[in-house]
Amino acid sequence: MFYSNPADAGIDADALQTLAGTYGERATKLPPIAMVIAAYNEEGAVGPVVEKLPKTVCGLAAEVIVVADGCVDATAKEADAAGAVVCDVPVNRGQGAALRLGYRIAREGGAEYIITTDADGQYNPLEIESLLAPVIEGKADFVTGSRRTGSEETKDPVRRAGVRFFASLVSLLTGQRISDTTFGLRAMRAEVTGAVQLEQPQYQASELLIGVITHGYRVLEVPATIHKRTVGESKKGQNPLYSLHIPGVNNLFYGARFTRVVLGTWWRERRRRS
C-alpha cells in the first residue's frame, strides 16, 4: 500500500492490531460484502445508519466496518453498539485516510465486494442492491450513484452548480461521461481499491473515481437519492473560518480544495500512463 505520509503507515498498523485484538476473526475473516463507513464525530447519526444497513445484499452476507477517524464523541461506541466492526483511530486524518484504511480492512479480511456509504444518513440503504448488482453480474467493476439521474432534497444552488461543474471537469479530463463525482454511495470489487493509488486525506471520492477510470476499470452510474442531513453538521469544506458560517466561504474552500485534488490526481495518473 502506498503512503504519501510515512506516519500514516504506523497509525494504520496500530489501528489494525487493535482491531484484530478487539474483534478477532470477525474482523479478519469477513463475509463476501464489506460496507465501509468513515465517521468523524457522528454521534447520534452513525448508530441509526448502521442499524438500517442490510445484513445481506444480492443474496450475499455483509458486514459493516466503521472507521472512527479521531472522534472525540461517542461515535465509536455507538457504532459498535449498533452492530458494526469499529476501527477506532485516535488521530483525525480525514475521510480519505479513513476510507483507505477501511478498504484495507475489507481486502485483508477477504471481502470480495466493498460498498461505501456515509455516516450522516443521507443515502438510502434500499438502493444498495441496485448499485452492487451490476458488479456481481460482471457488468461493471465500480458503480456509483448519481443524484442528477436520481434525486436530491437539497435546494442549494451553489452546491448543485458545483456538482455539475466537477462532473463536467472529470468527464473532460478522463474522457468518460460522469454526472456526479461526489456521491458517497458506491459499490466495487474489493481488488479495485488496492490497485489504484489513494493518498488524499480528504476529497478521496474524485481520486478514487479518476484512478479507477484511468486504470481501465468498467465504471457505471445508476440513479440514486441523497437526502438532507437531519443530525449533526457537514464536515465538508472545513477551514479556519468554518465556524463563522459566512455565506459562500465554506463552499469556496471546498471547491478550491476539490479542484486541486481533481487536477492533481489527473496529472499524476497521466504521468503514470506515460
57 neighbors 126 (Cβ within 8 angstroms)? no
What is the pTM assigned to this prediction? 0.91
Integer Cα distance of 100 and 92 in angstroms: 13
222 neighbors 188 (Cβ within 8 angstroms)? no
Q: What pLDDT is stored for residue 242 in this prediction? A: 45
Q: What is the pLDDT of residues 195-208, one digit of tens each?
A: 999 999 988 889 99
Q: What pLDDT is stored for residue 241 in this prediction? A: 42
Integer Cα distance of 205 and 183 in angstroms: 8
Q: What pLDDT is stored for residue 231 in this prediction? A: 66
67 neighbors 103 (Cβ within 8 angstroms)? no
Q: What is the pLDDT of residues 233-253, one digit of tens each?
A: 555 545 454 454 555 567 788
Could you list the mean pLDDT of each consecutive 10-residue stretch along the chain, which spans 274 residues? 80 96 97 98 97 98 98 98 98 96 98 97 96 98 97 83 94 96 96 95 92 97 89 52 54 87 95 88
Integer Cα distance of 210 and 218 in angstroms: 12
Task: Tell the burial category of 139 from Cβ atoms under 10 Å away from its Cβ (0-12, 13-18, 19+).
Answer: exposed
Domains of the chain, with CATH numbers?
A: 6-273 (3.90.550.10)
